[in-house]
Structure 1
Protein backbone atom coordinates (compact mmCIF):
# COMPACT_ATOMS: atom_id res chain seq x y z
CA UNK A 1 0.00 0.00 0.00
CA UNK A 2 2.60 2.56 1.04
CA UNK A 3 4.78 1.66 -1.96
CA UNK A 4 1.97 2.37 -4.41
CA UNK A 5 0.91 5.58 -2.69
CA UNK A 6 4.56 6.57 -2.22
CA UNK A 7 4.95 6.90 -5.98
CA UNK A 8 2.49 9.83 -5.86
CA UNK A 9 4.35 11.80 -3.19
CA UNK A 10 6.05 15.09 -3.93
CA UNK A 11 9.65 15.59 -2.76
CA UNK A 12 9.71 15.93 1.03
CA UNK A 13 6.06 14.92 1.38
CA UNK A 14 4.97 12.13 3.75
CA UNK A 15 1.84 10.04 4.15
CA UNK A 16 0.02 10.74 7.42
CA UNK A 17 -2.81 8.22 6.90
CA UNK A 18 -3.27 5.43 4.35
CA UNK A 19 -6.28 3.11 4.21
CA UNK A 20 -7.70 0.35 2.08
CA UNK A 21 -10.59 1.77 0.03
CA UNK A 22 -13.26 0.83 -2.51
CA UNK A 23 -13.64 3.22 -5.44
CA UNK A 24 -16.53 3.72 -7.82
CA UNK A 25 -17.55 6.39 -10.24
CA UNK A 26 -20.85 8.07 -9.41
CA UNK A 27 -23.90 7.53 -11.55
CA UNK A 28 -26.95 5.34 -11.75
CA UNK A 29 -25.48 2.66 -14.01
CA UNK A 30 -21.89 2.70 -12.79
CA UNK A 31 -21.86 -0.02 -10.19
CA UNK A 32 -18.38 -1.47 -10.75
CA UNK A 33 -16.39 -1.28 -7.53
CA UNK A 34 -12.60 -1.12 -7.70
CA UNK A 35 -10.27 -1.87 -4.80
CA UNK A 36 -7.42 0.46 -3.97
CA UNK A 37 -5.85 2.72 -1.39
CA UNK A 38 -6.53 6.28 -0.24
CA UNK A 39 -4.02 8.41 1.61
CA UNK A 40 -3.67 11.81 3.23
CA UNK A 41 -0.34 13.63 3.17
CA UNK A 42 1.30 16.21 5.41
CA UNK A 43 1.06 18.73 2.55
CA UNK A 44 -2.76 18.65 2.58
CA UNK A 45 -3.19 16.34 -0.41
CA UNK A 46 -5.41 13.34 -0.98
CA UNK A 47 -3.69 10.62 -2.95
CA UNK A 48 -5.12 7.36 -4.14
CA UNK A 49 -4.58 4.37 -6.35
CA UNK A 50 -7.48 2.32 -7.70
CA UNK A 51 -6.97 -1.00 -9.39
CA UNK A 52 -8.88 -1.62 -12.62
CA UNK A 53 -8.81 -4.40 -15.17
CA UNK A 54 -6.45 -2.25 -17.24
CA UNK A 55 -4.00 -1.56 -14.42
CA UNK A 56 -3.64 1.01 -11.65
CA UNK A 57 -5.14 4.48 -11.89
CA UNK A 58 -3.52 7.14 -9.65
CA UNK A 59 -5.33 10.13 -8.17
CA UNK A 60 -3.81 13.13 -6.38
CA UNK A 61 -5.32 16.49 -5.46
CA UNK A 62 -4.81 19.29 -2.96
CA UNK A 63 -7.79 19.36 -0.60
CA UNK A 64 -8.07 23.15 -0.89
CA UNK A 65 -8.42 22.94 -4.68
CA UNK A 66 -11.22 20.35 -4.73
CA UNK A 67 -14.62 21.38 -6.11
CA UNK A 68 -16.45 19.00 -3.76
CA UNK A 69 -15.58 17.02 -0.66
CA UNK A 70 -18.29 15.21 1.29
CA UNK A 71 -18.09 12.56 3.99
CA UNK A 72 -21.22 10.53 4.76
CA UNK A 73 -21.77 7.76 7.28
CA UNK A 74 -22.25 4.32 5.78
CA UNK A 75 -23.12 0.90 7.12
CA UNK A 76 -21.25 -0.68 10.03
CA UNK A 77 -19.09 2.36 10.76
CA UNK A 78 -17.91 2.88 7.19
CA UNK A 79 -17.66 6.30 5.54
CA UNK A 80 -18.44 7.26 1.95
CA UNK A 81 -16.25 10.07 0.67
CA UNK A 82 -17.21 12.02 -2.44
CA UNK A 83 -14.27 13.71 -4.15
CA UNK A 84 -14.47 16.01 -7.18
CA UNK A 85 -11.50 17.99 -8.46
CA UNK A 86 -13.19 19.22 -11.64
CA UNK A 87 -11.73 16.45 -13.79
CA UNK A 88 -12.29 13.32 -11.71
CA UNK A 89 -15.41 12.58 -9.68
CA UNK A 90 -15.05 9.61 -7.33
CA UNK A 91 -17.01 7.91 -4.60
CA UNK A 92 -14.69 6.23 -2.11
CA UNK A 93 -15.79 3.89 0.68
CA UNK A 94 -13.45 3.37 3.62
CA UNK A 95 -13.92 1.07 6.60
CA UNK A 96 -12.29 0.97 10.04
CA UNK A 97 -11.67 -2.78 9.81
CA UNK A 98 -10.91 -4.95 6.80
CA UNK A 99 -12.11 -8.57 6.64
CA UNK A 100 -10.29 -11.48 8.18
CA UNK A 101 -7.22 -12.77 6.44
CA UNK A 102 -6.13 -9.29 5.37
CA UNK A 103 -3.27 -7.75 7.31
CA UNK A 104 -3.34 -3.98 6.96
CA UNK A 105 -1.47 -2.48 9.89
CA UNK A 106 -2.99 0.62 11.46
CA UNK A 107 -6.17 0.53 9.31
CA UNK A 108 -8.33 1.52 12.27
CA UNK A 109 -6.04 4.34 13.47
CA UNK A 110 -5.49 5.69 9.95
CA UNK A 111 -9.24 5.49 9.25
CA UNK A 112 -9.90 7.68 12.30
CA UNK A 113 -7.13 10.13 11.30
CA UNK A 114 -8.44 10.41 7.73
CA UNK A 115 -12.06 10.94 8.76
CA UNK A 116 -11.08 13.41 11.52
CA UNK A 117 -9.14 15.45 8.96
CA UNK A 118 -11.82 15.40 6.24
CA UNK A 119 -15.17 15.69 8.08
CA UNK A 120 -14.70 19.29 9.31
CA UNK A 121 -13.56 20.40 5.84
CA UNK A 122 -16.56 19.25 3.79
CA UNK A 123 -17.87 21.57 1.09
CA UNK A 124 -19.59 21.56 -2.29
Structure 2
Protein backbone atom coordinates (compact mmCIF):
# COMPACT_ATOMS: atom_id res chain seq x y z
CA UNK A 1 0.00 0.00 0.00
CA UNK A 2 1.40 3.36 -0.90
CA UNK A 3 2.04 5.94 1.74
CA UNK A 4 -0.59 8.29 0.28
CA UNK A 5 -3.28 5.58 0.29
CA UNK A 6 -2.43 4.67 3.88
CA UNK A 7 -2.79 8.33 4.94
CA UNK A 8 -6.12 8.62 3.15
CA UNK A 9 -7.43 5.44 4.74
CA UNK A 10 -6.35 6.54 8.20
CA UNK A 11 -7.96 9.94 7.72
CA UNK A 12 -11.39 8.45 6.99
CA UNK A 13 -11.21 5.50 9.38
CA UNK A 14 -12.70 7.38 12.37
CA UNK A 15 -15.79 8.14 10.30
CA UNK A 16 -16.33 4.47 9.56
CA UNK A 17 -16.75 3.50 13.23
CA UNK A 18 -20.44 3.04 14.02
CA UNK A 19 -21.70 5.47 16.65
CA UNK A 20 -25.14 5.23 18.17
CA UNK A 21 -27.39 8.22 17.60
CA UNK A 22 -27.98 10.52 20.52
CA UNK A 23 -31.55 10.15 21.76
CA UNK A 24 -33.72 13.02 22.92
CA UNK A 25 -33.61 13.61 26.68
CA UNK A 26 -36.28 11.96 28.78
CA UNK A 27 -38.90 14.23 30.31
CA UNK A 28 -37.47 13.80 33.80
CA UNK A 29 -33.88 14.40 32.71
CA UNK A 30 -34.83 17.48 30.70
CA UNK A 31 -36.81 19.02 33.53
CA UNK A 32 -34.04 18.34 36.05
CA UNK A 33 -31.45 19.92 33.77
CA UNK A 34 -33.75 22.92 33.15
CA UNK A 35 -34.25 23.42 36.90
CA UNK A 36 -30.49 23.27 37.44
CA UNK A 37 -30.13 26.16 35.00
CA UNK A 38 -28.58 24.24 32.10
CA UNK A 39 -28.53 26.82 29.27
CA UNK A 40 -28.36 24.10 26.61
CA UNK A 41 -31.55 22.51 27.96
CA UNK A 42 -33.28 25.89 28.12
CA UNK A 43 -32.35 26.44 24.47
CA UNK A 44 -33.53 22.94 23.55
CA UNK A 45 -36.89 23.42 25.27
CA UNK A 46 -37.29 26.90 23.75
CA UNK A 47 -36.60 25.45 20.30
CA UNK A 48 -39.06 22.63 20.91
CA UNK A 49 -41.73 25.08 22.03
CA UNK A 50 -41.02 27.33 19.06
CA UNK A 51 -41.41 24.36 16.70
CA UNK A 52 -44.73 23.39 18.27
CA UNK A 53 -45.94 26.98 17.97
CA UNK A 54 -44.99 27.08 14.29
CA UNK A 55 -46.66 23.71 13.74
CA UNK A 56 -49.84 25.18 15.22
CA UNK A 57 -49.63 28.21 12.94
CA UNK A 58 -49.10 26.00 9.88
CA UNK A 59 -52.03 23.76 10.79
CA UNK A 60 -54.28 26.75 11.35
CA UNK A 61 -53.27 28.42 8.08
CA UNK A 62 -54.13 25.21 6.23
CA UNK A 63 -57.59 25.06 7.80
CA UNK A 64 -56.69 22.19 10.15
CA UNK A 65 -57.30 22.04 13.90
CA UNK A 66 -54.43 23.24 16.06
CA UNK A 67 -52.62 20.91 18.46
CA UNK A 68 -53.25 23.15 21.48
CA UNK A 69 -54.86 26.56 22.00
CA UNK A 70 -53.19 29.07 24.30
CA UNK A 71 -55.53 31.91 25.32
CA UNK A 72 -54.38 35.35 24.17
CA UNK A 73 -54.08 36.61 27.76
CA UNK A 74 -51.62 33.85 28.78
CA UNK A 75 -47.90 34.63 28.85
CA UNK A 76 -46.74 31.62 26.83
CA UNK A 77 -43.12 30.81 27.65
CA UNK A 78 -40.70 27.97 28.28
CA UNK A 79 -41.48 28.31 31.99
CA UNK A 80 -45.20 27.88 31.29
CA UNK A 81 -44.51 24.77 29.18
CA UNK A 82 -42.29 23.36 31.95
CA UNK A 83 -45.07 23.97 34.48
CA UNK A 84 -47.57 22.17 32.23
CA UNK A 85 -45.17 19.26 31.75
CA UNK A 86 -44.47 19.03 35.49
CA UNK A 87 -48.22 18.96 36.19
CA UNK A 88 -48.69 16.21 33.60
CA UNK A 89 -45.93 14.09 35.13
CA UNK A 90 -47.55 14.27 38.57
CA UNK A 91 -50.53 12.44 37.09
CA UNK A 92 -48.63 10.23 34.65
CA UNK A 93 -45.33 9.28 36.28
CA UNK A 94 -44.71 6.57 33.67
CA UNK A 95 -44.20 9.36 31.11
CA UNK A 96 -41.01 10.47 32.91
CA UNK A 97 -39.03 8.08 30.70
CA UNK A 98 -40.61 9.28 27.42
CA UNK A 99 -38.88 11.89 25.22
CA UNK A 100 -39.42 15.43 26.46
CA UNK A 101 -40.81 16.70 23.15
CA UNK A 102 -43.59 14.14 23.14
CA UNK A 103 -44.46 14.73 26.78
CA UNK A 104 -44.37 18.50 26.36
CA UNK A 105 -46.82 18.31 23.45
CA UNK A 106 -49.15 16.03 25.41
CA UNK A 107 -48.96 18.41 28.38
CA UNK A 108 -49.79 21.46 26.28
CA UNK A 109 -52.76 19.65 24.74
CA UNK A 110 -54.07 18.91 28.25
CA UNK A 111 -53.51 22.37 29.72
CA UNK A 112 -54.55 24.32 26.63
CA UNK A 113 -57.20 22.21 24.88
CA UNK A 114 -58.90 23.49 21.76
CA UNK A 115 -62.63 23.39 22.42
What range describes the TM-score normalised by the shorter chain of this pair?
under 0.3
More helix by share: 2
Which structure has the bigger radius of gyration? 2
More strand by share: 1
Higher relative contact order (CA 8 A, sep 6+): 2
